[in-house]
Amino acid sequence: MATVLDVARLAGVSTATVSRVLSGKGNVGEAARERVLSAVRALDFQPNRMAQGLRRGHGSAVGLLVGDIEQNVYSALTKHVQTALGGIGLDLMLYNLDHSAERLSTILEAAPAMGLRGVALATTDVLAMATVGPQLRQLQASGLLVVSIGQRLHREGVPSVVHEERSAARRAVAYLLESGRGPVAYLGRLSGSAVGTERYRGYAAALGDAGIAIDRDLVWDVSYRFAAGYEATSRALDAGRRFHAVQCGSDELALGAMAAIQDRGFAIPDDVAVIGFGAIGWGGHVRPALTTISVDPAAVAARVADHFAGREAPALTIIPRTLLRRGSA
């Protein structure tokens, strides 16, 4: 591994000049610059990131904290964030929270010592701001860049990049109602999830718009995974609840609901229409194909990169969603 000193010697300049050429800061004569550059190439020099980090006070990796990388929403996000960060010379340190608040705190606690340039928090779990808030502020005070993805924390001073939630759900449910698919049930996580509540509110708003009262028996509060969707829907079906559509809080849930409906011999969408939320990969390939609400991880990643690149960016960015009409509704 060649060092700046090797480059400096070969180019016949001092290490300071090498550093200046490489960083682009400070004035360097054309002749010297040329020689440095060719020495860099000749030695295949790559600056040692740890030394740079030690000197600068922070490294060149951003910590991405995701709720659960195994869920497609997060893996798709991760992919785009990694690409976007790579574009501005930043690496990605991945931390899987596994939806654990304790783990989140531990990681936040260790972030400065880790040499992270910043932290991107991507979880929709409701955060205990009493403990997380101070930690986040502490990080910012240490000079770390902090960004929230999917959850609005801009009031807490954390720039946030989120998707539209309530209005998107509202439009989807309105579509169901207009298509004569009522009564419409809601399947999703109401508490514990920062976005779950918003989505439910969109459902409630759409019913309100249509002058329909909310039927508590048609609102199922569950976790986000497949099994939860399957069970809740099965229970409702077996209990003889009357509904002709289900708006789900996630695609996983929607798939679970579809399985429950199909297992009981009902047809989708004729007997029961289903709309998911999140447009994960396989939704279009299931039969019937899942009608769902879009996500735009690339747009999110682009905005997140803006923040880490130090580019001007709004404290709150809201990415729009659209209804993806496919076979299930």
Partner DNA sequence: CTGAAAGCGCTAACAT
Partner DNA sequence: ATGTTAGCGCTTTCAG
Name the residues that contact DNA, by CB under 7 A: 1, 3-5, 12-20, 22-23, 25-29, 31-33, 45, 47-48, 51-52, 54-57
Q: Which is nearer to DNA, 23 or 106 (CB)?
A: 23
Does residue number 218 form part of the binding site for a copy of itself (CB under 8 A)?
no
- Tell me how long the chain is: 329
Does residue number 5 form part of the binding site for a copy of itself (CB under 8 A)?
no
288 φ/ψ sector (left φ>0, alpha ψ -120 to 50, else beta): beta
- Side-chain-side CA neighbours of 169 within 13 Å: the count stands at 28
Identify which range of 5-13, 167-175, 240-248, 249-257 contacts a copy of itself by CB under 8 A.
249-257
Does residue number 113 form part of the binding site for a copy of itself (CB under 8 A)?
yes
Cis preceding-peptide flag for 183 (omega within 30 of 0): yes
Over the window 126 to 155, marking each residue x when it contacts a copy of itself by CB under 8 A and - when it does not, the resulting string is ----------------x-------------
Contact criterion met (CB below 8 Å) for 324 and 294? yes
Residues 13 to 42 in contact with a copy of itself, rule: CB under 8 A? none
Q: Identify which of 112, 103, 137 has the alpha carbon closest to the alpha carbon of residue 61.
A: 112
Q: Which is nearer to DNA, 57 or 87 (CB)?
A: 57
Contact criterion met (CB below 8 Å) for 153 and 136? yes
The residue written with tokens 């893996």 in the block is 75
Q: Which is nearer to a copy of itself, 92 or 237 (CB)?
A: 92
First to last CA, the chain: 60
For the bound state, the minimum distance from the C-beta of residue 106 to a copy of itself, rounded and expressed in Å, comes to 10
Contact criterion met (CB below 8 Å) for 77 and 149? yes
Over the window 82 to 101, marking each residue x when it contacts a copy of itself by CB under 8 A and - when it does not, the resulting string is xx-------xxxxxx-x---
Quick one: CA torsion of 103, 108, 109, 114, rounded to 10 degrees?
A: 110
290 φ, ψ (degrees, to nearest 5): -80, 120
Nearest-5° Cα angle at 242, 241 to 245: 115
Identify which range of 9-17, 65-73, 185-193, 242-250 contacts a copy of itself by CB under 8 A.
65-73
For residue 105, how far is the Cα from the chain centroid?
19
117 binds, among DNA, a copy of itself, none (CB under 5 to 8 A by kind): none
The residue written with tokens 């240490």 in the block is 142
Residue among 65, 286, 293, 301 that touches a copy of itself (CB under 8 A): 286
Q: Which is nearer to a copy of itself, 203 or 230 (CB)?
A: 230
Per-residue tokens: 324: 């993806």
Residue among 282, 311, 314, 315 that touches a copy of itself (CB under 8 A): 282
The residue written with tokens 């986040």 in the block is 136
Binding interface with a copy of itself (CB under 8 A): 1, 46-51, 53-54, 59, 61, 64, 68-70, 72, 74-76, 78-79, 82-83, 91-96, 98, 109-110, 112-115, 142, 226, 230, 252, 255-256, 258-259, 262-263, 281-282, 284-287, 289
